Amino acid sequence: MASPERIGELRRHWTDRFVRIRGDWPQYQRFAGRIGRVVTVNWNGKALVDFCDGAWYDIPASEEYLEIVPPEQAQGKYDPTVNSAQRFPARQS
């Protein structure tokens, strides 16, 4: 487990960034070509990534696994209104 200082650094670096999977990781192939948003980094040092499908996925918060996507490139490829991580999601009454 990482120190609280290291987790704080990871959170400052990754939180609210648009990302995509980097490399050829078999366990993350279902996210290939998709852009997600890092919601936060948990105490295990994993980024909780929202790929707009109603779930968050924990992926190691490392440049070995994740590539930061500039907001201009993410525009139109990430729709925050379809996820369940909103204060008042549109699909709930």
- What would the pLDDT profile of 6-50 be if each residue is shown by its tens digit? 999 999 999 999 999 998 899 999 999 899 999 999 999 999 999
Any domain includes 92 = no
Q: pLDDT value at position 24?
A: 87
Q: Does 19 reside within a domain?
A: yes
Q: Does any domain span residue 89?
A: no
Residue 88 scores a pLDDT above 70: no
With bands split at pLDDT 50, 70 and 90, how would you rate the model's confidence at 87? Answer: low
Q: For the chain, what is the domain count?
A: 1
What would the DSSP string read from start to end of the chain? Answer: ---HHHHHHHHHHHTT-EEEE-S--GGGGGGTT--EEEEEE-TTSEEEEE-SSS-EEEEESSTTTEEEE-HHHHTTT--GGGSS-SSS-TT--
Residue 22 lies in a domain: yes
CATH number at residue 35: 2.30.30.30
